[in-house]
Amino acid sequence: MNRLLKYSFGSVLFGAAAVGGLGWLNLYTYHRFTEESPVATLAFEYLDELSYRVTISPVGQPEVELKLDGDEWQLDARMIKWTDWLTFLGESPLYRLDRLSGRYISIEDARSKGQTMHALSKTPGIDVWAFARRAGDWLPGVDAAYGSSVYLPMADGLSYVVSISRTGLLARKLEQGGDQ
């Protein structure tokens, strides 16, 4: 019986360590930020009525061309911010671009026309962000929140740079030639 108890305790301990290790590895799919810093650029090309080709160039990742329908684009990011002692120890907040979607200004258009939405990342293994979001108040030192989704008009030839700060996403229109 004593041996069975030791093996059971060891198995539980090993399982907890494995889950914790996989969760820690998931954090490496996020990028660190300490101040407002660019995370992506978006360039739009008119295809047909309320339909655009967008080229999104996330920082440090290959650019992707996607089709979006609507009057405006919306970019969402997952953010993990540290509170209290973790910030004091120098841990920087993390982000991961989550999705890009088109949206309509008119409610009638939004109801009658299909919405386009594209995932910008995959969640390998354990989803630490979802766990931290569900854990809420009882998980000390962690705050998981969406970056304030940013949305702006789509038009032929328009380009934007999207930056992230501790409070969320910010987008600025780029002038022709890529200058702000």
Q: Classify burial at 17, counting beta carbons within 10 Å of its beta carbon; exposed 0-12, middle 13-18, buried 19 or more.
A: exposed
Q: Classify burial at 65, counting beta carbons within 10 Å of its beta carbon; exposed 0-12, middle 13-18, buried 19 or more.
A: exposed
Q: pLDDT (tens digit, 9 = 90+) per residue, 30-72?
A: 665 556 789 999 999 999 988 999 999 999 889 999 999 999 9
Instruction: Please name the residue that has the structure tokens 């979607």.
Output: 101
Q: From CA 99, how far away is CA 22, in angstroms rounded?
A: 23
Amino acid, res. 20: G
Per-residue pLDDT band at 17 (split at 50, 70, 90): confident
Per-residue pLDDT band at 9 (split at 50, 70, 90): confident
Q: What is the model's pLDDT at position 87?
A: 56
Domain ranges of the chain: 2-174
Examine the pLDDT at 158 and tell me if it is beyond 90: yes
Examine the pLDDT at 169 and tell me if it is beyond 70: yes
Q: How many residues does the chain have?
A: 180
